[in-house]
Amino acid sequence: MLRKTWRRAAVATAGVLALTLATACSEDPGESTDLAENRVGAMAEYGVGDQFKATEALSFSTLYNNHTFYPLKDDWLFWSELTKRTNVTIEPVAVPLSDYEQKRSLLIGAGDAPLIIPKTYHPAETAFVASGAILPVSDYLDLMPHFRDKMEKWNLKPEIDNLRQSDGKFYLLPGVHEKPTQDYTVLVRTDVLQELNQPVPKTWDELYTVLKAMKAKYPDVYPYSDLFSKPTPTGALLNILGASYGTQAGWDYQHATWDPAAKKFTYTGGSEQYKQMLTYLHKLVAEGLLDPESFTQTDDQARQKLANGKSFVVTGNAQTLVNNHRPDLAKTQPNAKLAKIPLPVGPAGEINPAPRLENGIMISSKARESKNFVAMMQFIDWLWYSDAGQEFARWGVEGTTFTRDASGKRAPAADVDVLGLNPKGTKHLQQEFGFYNGVFTYGGTPDLVRGFFSAEELEFQRVMDARTPRAVPPPHPLTDEEREQVSLWETPLKDFVAQNTLKFALGQRPLSEWDAYLAELKAKNAEQYIEVVNKAYQRFQDKNS
Amino acid sequence: MVILGTKRAAPRTRGPVDSRGYRIFRVVNAVVLTLVVILTLYPFVNIVARSLSDEAYLLAGKVNVVPRGFDLTAYRLVMSDPLFWTNYRNTVVYTVVATLISIVLTTCYAYVLSKPQLKGRGVLVGVALFTMFFSGGLIPNYVLVTSLGMKNTIWAIVIPNAISVFNLLVMKAFFESLPTELEEAAAVDGLNTYGILLRIVLPLSKAIIATMVLFYAVSFWNSWFTAFLYLDRQDLLPVTVYLRNLIAGATSAESAAADADKVQAAATLQAVTIVLTTLPILAVYPFVQRYFVSGVLLGAVKG
């Protein structure tokens, strides 16, 4: 009896599935052109430099990543001023930042998603493409003059091409930067450098010399003891070191690396560059320069070692430097000086590895049915991509939250504080006004992106700007079946590479076993993986050249 | 007469001397249990100490059991956040209402199931058991709750999880252990079914009800997932979500955008919020605990 019921349920489920598939496949590809019925509230003439203002009052639901530091407030100047300028009200669906991704999947899966879904990191949008729940935004770029303008002016085509899916469209409107802004680098105790009469290291080899000198003077100290052992052991160090060696490691680990000379992809974890990087890392560990605990300790432990003079070098960025390490040191060793040094140069030459795209916006497919669709796209274009919109989202209202001097340089208003730039300010730009909000502030010109940077950080960025941005690999979008196939290979491969990276670095496995390691990689389908990627690359080339 | 002397000489009334093995057992027992107590207590004492300490000591890793550099700034910060209190109030309201509903529903269901003469009892038990092993899944549940119009209301929190099958079965076993003669006697004296339940059975079931209240209340107090699913407004969320978000916010890379001095306080803030949220449960527990012990045993052993 029970079995019969189950069988019936199974048949019913299969039927529903088949139906869903049938509807998903029968989509009409030509529907994107006719927008005549979706223009209510839209501006007839809207181009680069224009202020968007809806012709009637509109409101759009938006998924809102609610940050603990500046929890959502209804009386923010951001909301009222935005409505004043654009005639649009945003209806936030507030989600705690702790579980934003989960709620986003749930809402999209349940068909209950808000129209605008910001703060989506590529390739998270890929998961929703097959269901048809999100809009192929690339079909509607003609509604977004500012986005197109920035894409052309800043030559972002190669980057944006990488967002394309196997149908040649992209589903995510990314945050775009004019210039890459490298964040992480090596932080060094410059007072120790002085004491040892060492120059600031410019390359990884010079850093090795410096660490060596530190070790000679303080034999019982591991001069480099790193943070960020989770989720990838020493993810940050591997990330910057990998970039300098022309490969991708740590946080940034990608299975496929583009080889421009051979015009094909190779498997990252088995490449010569990866081996060189491991050789260097192993040298640091073997000679007692890099703390072996760097791969396992918690961030707090590493922080304490630096604070207590048990290490002199860590990986970090401007925030960890200013917010964590300097206050730590000020309490424990008032004479210590810690500074960000320009990213050390490796065999890959003087490059700036930072990406120029950041998290972006997905649009619900149901927005396309709305009579206000065109107005919504124009609104998104204005707020996220126009110079005026970007300045508004970041700095707020001139005269109220910020001022501009004769040279055009912006500064927070006298009573407004942000990032501790104006400690006397009683009102906080994020908390009291709702500006510089992670949901609405993406990318822009260096002038905007680096508006809150300290002089020290600007100097770091000046050095980094002189370097060539890292070349972007050509697009190689996989089909659904291919993605399903490679995702079965990805996890074991990634774990295997991470494990062996650790073993090689720590010397648990000698580098002489590299060939055996390559054979093991092959046994874990690394070659098949790369074959699929190269095939996808070739297919995209054939279709789009 | 030397009464005292004879008394002193009287044989021990404690029974035979404890055997060597038993004495060793007792010592080992005491040692092991003391260790368990320390292990359980340490994290809590540590959190309390952290919540009262100055961050400088926290960051230096010098805080273990005793607070160092006594500092109440973090308590002031958390307590001055109106959202914390709003969410705290929500938690109290949700817990009280949800526990009430759960107790009423579970008692009714369990009492009915405990009657062997009930027709279709097997099906009713099966219905409950089925949900223990199979569920509709996240998205169907969400669609259901949303289309019932319960999203962004207290009902989304208190209705969907009102009956815990485990609690139901414990309670059913308890009711089955009550002597049927009592109910028969009450029936003879003229009580109807409801009278029997309300005036005879329930007064005899205080222990199991107290246990159920504790089970339900603790689980509702600690739950955050349903609230996170069905509530889109921060002023409706329970304090657990607030706490979760606070911890995530303090550890995520994004908080790097926050101010230096306030990020510094994050470590203490977490500890303070944890202390403030666990406190009520800790305060209530000792009073319910005596029922708790006898209640679970009563339910487990069928008379």
Mutate to test the interface with A, among B55, B134, B138, B139 (most CBs of A within 10 A): B139
Per-position b or e across A76-100, b if 16+ CB within 10 A of its CB = bbbbebbbebbbbebebbbbbbbbb
Confidence of residue B210 (pLDDT cuts 50, 70, 90): confident
Give mean pLDDT, residues A415-432: 85
- How is A428-460 classified by DSSP, letter by letter? ETTTTT--S-TTT---B-HHHHTTT--HHHHHH
* Strand-pair category, A357-363 with A116-120: antiparallel
Domain ranges of chain B: 15-71, 73-300
Confidence of residue B274 (pLDDT cuts 50, 70, 90): confident
Question: B253 or B297, which is more confident?
Answer: B297
A99 contacts in chain B (CB < 8 Å)? 228, 244, 248
With pLDDT > 90 as the criterion, what percentage of chain B qualifies?
34
B10 in reach of chain A (CB within 8 A) = no
B247 in reach of chain A (CB within 8 A) = yes
Non-local (6+) Cβ contacts of A478 within 8 A are A166, A486, A532, A533, A536
Q: What is the pLDDT of residue A425?
A: 84
| Nearest-angstrom CA–CA distance, A459 and A465 | 10
A71 contacts in chain B (CB < 8 Å)? 83, 234
B214 and B294 Cβ atoms separated by less than 8 Å: no
Non-local (6+) Cβ contacts of A438 within 8 A are A65, A67, A119, B254, B257
**Residue pLDDT, tens place only, B95-117:** 999 999 999 999 999 999 999 88
Q: What is the pLDDT of residue B2?
A: 42
Same fold, A34-177+357-392 and A185-352: yes
Q: What is the pLDDT of residue B138?
A: 86
Residue A155 CB neighbours (<10 A): 11
Output the CATH code of domain B73-300.
1.10.3720.10
Dihedral (CA of A23, A28, A34, A35) sign: positive
**Residue pLDDT, tens place only, A168-210:** 899 999 999 999 999 899 999 999 999 999 999 999 999 999 9
Q: Over 90: is that where the pLDDT of A64 sits?
A: yes
Encoded amino acid at A41, one letter: G
What is residue A250's three-state secondary structure?
Answer: helix
Place of tokens 């706490």: B243
Q: Over 90: is that where the pLDDT of A217 sits?
A: yes
| Nearest-angstrom CA–CA distance, A102 and A519 | 38
A103 in reach of chain B (CB within 8 A) = yes
With pLDDT > 70 as the criterion, what percentage of chain B qualifies?
83
In this complex, the residue of B83, B232, B260 whose CB is nearest that of residue A420 is B260
- How is chain B classified by DSSP, letter by letter? --HHHHHHHSPPSS-SPPPHHHHHHHHHHHHHHHHHHHHHHHHHHHHHHHHTS-HHHHHTT--SSS-SS---HHHHHHHT-HHHHHHHHHHHHHHHHHHHHHHHHHHHHHHHHT-TT-TTHHHHHHHHHHHHH----HHHHHHHHHHTT-TTSTHHHHSTT---HHHHHHHHHHHHHS-HHHHHHHHHTT--HHHIIIIIIHHHTHHHHHHHHHHHHHHHHH--HHHHHH---GGGS-HHHHHHHHHHHHHSGGGGGS-HHHHHTHHHHHHHHHHHHHHHHHHHHHHHHHHHHHHHHHHHS--
How close A157 comes to chain B (CA, Å)?
A: 28
Show the tokens assigned to B119: 């027709």
B56 contacts in chain A (CB < 8 Å)? 331
Contact across the interface for B229 and A94, Cβ inside 8 Å = no
B52 and B73 Cβ atoms separated by less than 8 Å: no
Give mean pLDDT, residues A364-376: 94
Contact across the interface for B262 and A322, Cβ inside 8 Å = no
| Nearest-angstrom CA–CA distance, A147 and A385 | 6
Encoded amino acid at A494, one letter: K
**Residue pLDDT, tens place only, B142-197:** 999 999 999 999 999 999 889 999 999 999 998 998 888 888 899 999 999 899 99
A417 and A426 Cβ atoms separated by less than 8 Å: yes
Q: What is the pLDDT of residue B70?
A: 81
| Nearest-angstrom CA–CA distance, A253 and A231 | 12
B94 and B225 Cβ atoms separated by less than 8 Å: no
Non-local (6+) Cβ contacts of B69 within 8 A are B53, B54, B56, B57
A150 and A525 Cβ atoms separated by less than 8 Å: no
Task: Name the average pLDDT for chain A.
Answer: 89
A95 in reach of chain B (CB within 8 A) = yes
Contact across the interface for A98 and B248, Cβ inside 8 Å = yes
Q: What is the pLDDT of residue B15?
A: 60
Q: How far apart are the first and last CA of chain B?
A: 54
**Residue pLDDT, tens place only, A238-270:** 999 999 999 999 888 999 999 988 899 999 999
How close A473 comes to chain B (CA, Å)?
A: 27
B142 contacts in chain A (CB < 8 Å)? 106, 110, 112
A331 in reach of chain B (CB within 8 A) = yes
B233 contacts in chain A (CB < 8 Å)? 94
A288 and A215 Cβ atoms separated by less than 8 Å: yes
Residue of A nearest to B260 (CA): A323
B104 and B84 Cβ atoms separated by less than 8 Å: no
Query: Tell me, which fold does domain A185-352 have in CATH?
Result: D-Maltodextrin-Binding Protein; domain 2 (3.40.190)
- How is A84-97 classified by DSSP, letter by letter? HHHSEEEEEEEEEG
B59 contacts in chain A (CB < 8 Å)? 300, 303-304, 307, 328, 331
| Nearest-angstrom CA–CA distance, A438 and A100 | 13
Residue of A nearest to B142 (CA): A110
CA A378 to chain centre: 25
B138 in reach of chain A (CB within 8 A) = yes
Q: What is the pLDDT of residue A21?
A: 43
How close A428 comes to chain B (CA, Å)?
A: 10
B289 in reach of chain A (CB within 8 A) = no
A136 and A170 Cβ atoms separated by less than 8 Å: yes
Encoded amino acid at A256, one letter: A
| Nearest-angstrom CA–CA distance, A282 and A92 | 50
Contact across the interface for A72 and B234, Cβ inside 8 Å = yes
Q: What is the pLDDT of residue A98?
A: 81
Give mean pLDDT, residues B49-53: 84
**Residue pLDDT, tens place only, A109-134:** 888 899 999 999 988 898 899 889 99
Q: What is the pLDDT of residue A93?
A: 92
Please name the helix (run of DSSP H) or strand (run of DSSP E) that holds residue A264, with its range, or none: strand A264-267
Confidence of residue A431 (pLDDT cuts 50, 70, 90): confident
B246 in reach of chain A (CB within 8 A) = yes
* Strand-pair category, A88-96 with A173-176: unpaired
Pick the CATH number of A34-177+357-392 from 3.40.50.2300, 3.40.50.12780, 3.40.50.300, 3.40.190.10: 3.40.190.10
**Residue pLDDT, tens place only, A5-60:** 555 555 555 544 444 444 444 334 444 468 888 999 999 999 999 999 999 999 99
**Residue pLDDT, tens place only, B245-272:** 877 765 544 444 344 344 445 667 778 8
A135 and A160 Cβ atoms separated by less than 8 Å: no
The number of C-beta contacts closer than 8 angstroms across A and B is 103
Confidence of residue A508 (pLDDT cuts 50, 70, 90): very high
Mutate to test the interface with A, among B68, B145, B241, B245 (most CBs of A within 10 A): B245
Tell me which residue of A385, A22, A369 sits closest to A175, measured CA to CA.
A385
Show the tokens assigned to A57: 């009052």
CA A45 to chain centre: 34
Confidence of residue A459 (pLDDT cuts 50, 70, 90): very high
Q: What is the pLDDT of residue A20?
A: 46
List the Cα angle A473/A475/A477 in 5-degree steps.
135
| Nearest-angstrom CA–CA distance, A309 and A278 | 27
* Strand-pair category, A416-417 with A427-428: parallel
Show the tokens assigned to A467: 């370097």
Q: What is the pLDDT of residue B297?
A: 54
A112 contacts in chain B (CB < 8 Å)? 142-143, 146
* Strand-pair category, A58-66 with A88-96: parallel
- What interface predicted TM-score (ipTM) does this complex get? 0.72
Confidence of residue A525 (pLDDT cuts 50, 70, 90): very high
Q: What is the pLDDT of residue A362?
A: 95
Domain ranges of chain A: 34-177+357-392, 185-352, 480-544
Show the tokens assigned to A532: 């699929």
Contact across the interface for B256 and A323, Cβ inside 8 Å = yes
Q: Over 80: is that where the pLDDT of B298 sits?
A: no
A436 in reach of chain B (CB within 8 A) = yes
